[in-house]
Structure 1
Amino acid sequence: MNGGFQPRLRKRPTRPQKPLASFDTDRQGWGMGNIIAWAIGIVSAVIAIPSVLPIVGWLLALILLPLPLIGIVIGTFSRRKSGRNFCILVFVLCFLRLLITF
């Protein structure tokens, strides 16, 4: 009837789809990561204080090294970086203490 002419339909602009599960640090996921990293760093620092004693110093420092690393990994996923930086400081101090004893 209209001579084979088909009108152009205008497409509506589509909104970007959100994924079902995302670890966006602003909304969900690792919002508490900074607090957890701080807690791990404080526990590591308190445990590191007795590592100054000569009897258990190198053994305790050697056992203590993985704790701040866990805090660094958790703090990396947080939007705030103060907990990660504190765990890096504790790790460096424990590592230097371990180097001095060997």
Structure 2
Amino acid sequence: MLNLVSIVVGLLALPFVLVGVVPYLGAVNYLAVPIAIVGLLLGVLSSRNSGRNFNLVVLILAFIRLWAGGGIL
């Protein structure tokens, strides 16, 4: 059950990450990172790995975009 909730939270964070890839909208990733971290924590508590891995991918994409835009020092 937690795996399904984790995937749903990751799907909630994914549109923010995709919008954040657009130039001048990278600050949206600051909203996506906490959502993906919550999904990651739910995925860690789950017995399966798919929700955790999905949220890791979403989180890595958000961090790469923030790093490329100079948002993470």
TM over 0.5: yes
Tell me, in whole angstroms, the C-alpha distance in 2 between the residues paired with 1:44 and 1:63. 8
What does 1:79-90 correspond to in 2, within 5 Å?
A: 79-90=47-58
Task: Supply the distance in 2 between the matched residues of 1:55 and 1:45 (Cα, whole angstroms).
Answer: 18
Q: What is the 5 A alignment of 1:85-96? A: 85-96=53-64
Structure number, greater radius of gyration: 1
Taking only aligned residues, the RMSD between alpha carbons, in angstroms, comes to 1.0
Alpha-carbon distance, 1:55 to partner: 2.3
Q: 5+ unaligned residues in a row in structure 2: which ranges?
A: none
Q: Deviations over 1:26-83 (max 9, x none)?
A: xxxxxx10001000111111221111222222x1012211111000111111111100
Structure ranking higher in helix proportion? 2
TM-score, with length taken from structure 1: 0.65
Number of residue equivalences: 70
1:25 — aligned with what? none
Stretches of structure 1 lacking an aligned partner (at least 5 in a row)? 1-31
Aligned to 2:12: 43
Structure-2 separation of matches of 1:49 and 1:86: 14
**What is the identity percentage for the equivalent residue pairs of Structure 1 and Structure 2?**
30
1:54 corresponds to: 23
| TM-score between the two structures when normalised by the length of structure 2 | 0.88
Mapped partners of 2:31, 2:15: distance in 1: 14
The CA distance in 1 between the partners of 2:21 and 2:44, in whole Å, is 29
Q: Which has the higher contact order (CA 8 A, sep 6+)?
A: 2
